[in-house]
Amino acid sequence: MAVSFLNLGRLHQEIRPALDQAYKRVMDSGWFITGPEVQAFESEFATFSGVKHCVGVGNGLDALVLLLRAYGIGPGDEVLVPSNTFIATWLAVSQCGATPVPVEPDPQTHNMDPAGLEAAVTPRTKAVIAVDLFGQMAPIEQVMEAAQGCPVIEDAAQSIGASRVIDGARVMAGQAAAIGTFSFFPSKNLGGYGDGGMMVTQDDALFETLMKLRTHGSRRTYYHEIVGYNSRLDSLQAAVLSAKLPHLKAWSAARRRNAAYYDAAFADIGEITAPYIDAANESIYNQYTIRVSARDALQAHLKALGIGNAIYYPLPLHLQPCFAHLGSREGAFPESERAAREVLSLPVFPELRPGQLDEVIDAVRSFFGR
């Protein structure tokens, strides 16, 4: 029997009545862009993430672009970014006319290595984007120290609801750096039924700028103070996200249970490196990503057995054609290149049934002859 990598339909069934109500509310209100639904969700998300301000935008990439713009980042500026991340992190820098400068990950957590970051800071460095990859937070407090006063933006698209203990206190993703971004792309742990994103900040002045940037540079209709964008969360997405948010903790806990079940089942297979979660972190397992040297053969084996899987990411960003102008070559970022050869993500979504977890496990174990 096949096991899909992700099954958004199953989740949909569970909360069908709340979703039906949300749709109806929006249709009846006749208010489709920003408005009360968006304000309500922004306020719920601010409470959830422990931040003062939330600004809903069109997608996670725009959230990064608008934040960089708010800091005045443009041509001639460098922004330090992880070498191993989803492309949106780099695209945001390029879209501002600035240059993404890659920093290698800690091979265990896949997150930005603070020592490498410290070494990469130059007088042209104007900001750092730290990504919380696969569901666990980057060591934000160490990143901020290594950034030597440059603003640090936490790209928490993959880690909605993750947390980290910093100086004895539990801090939520988006809260630690005081400036963060999220994505509500359907496959994120809190996904809309379309695109969506969020900027979060503790800073009142920055909040005012972000509100203008998302709406044509204006706070008061038809009066435009800055050259802005049009990137807003729509009411329908906000209503769906409000219906889903109360369930997010339970869904994350289910993902952690699935991950622990895999960890135990693979513990005796030396060829598999299971995900490593920093002791200070609670992961929300946006991905359950193992490392295997025979990755391509394992993937072919799983495919033949109908077991869903995915590679995040098959080609490192410095080798992507769209970044050829940055002049990087093979071998420049070996940790990212090695990750691209070795990583494989297995199904970990909350609605997986116990029998399906066992099917995935049997398929993986059979590849290694166990």
Interacting residues with ligand PLP (CB under 6 A): 59-61, 85-86, 88-89, 131, 155, 157-158, 183, 185, 195, 197
Beta bridge partners of 198: 56, 182
Parallel/antiparallel/unpaired status of strands 125-131 and 78-82: parallel
- Asked whether the CA dihedral 259, 162, 309, 186 is positive or negative, the reply is positive
Quick count: other Cβ atoms within 10 Å of Cβ 84? 29
Min dist CB 110 to ligand PLP, Å, is: 11
What 3-state DSSP class applies to 182?
strand
**101/265 with CB nearer ligand PLP:** 101
Residues with Cβ within 8 Å of residue 194, at least 6 apart in sequence:
186, 234, 236, 237
**86/266 with CB nearer ligand PLP:** 86
Give the CB-nearest residue to ligand PLP: 60
CA atoms within 13 A on the CB side of 186: 8
Q: Find the helix or strand (DSSP H, E) in which 209 lies.
A: helix 204-214
**91/319 with CB nearer ligand PLP:** 91
Min dist CB 109 to ligand PLP, Å, is: 14
Min dist CB 95 to ligand PLP, Å, is: 11
Min dist CB 132 to ligand PLP, Å, is: 8
**37/132 with CB nearer ligand PLP:** 132
**86/285 with CB nearer ligand PLP:** 86
Min dist CB 280 to ligand PLP, Å, is: 20
**86/251 with CB nearer ligand PLP:** 86
| Sheet architecture: strand order including 78-82 | 53-57, 197-201, 179-183, 152-155, 125-131, 78-82, 99-103
Min dist CB 262 to ligand PLP, Å, is: 21
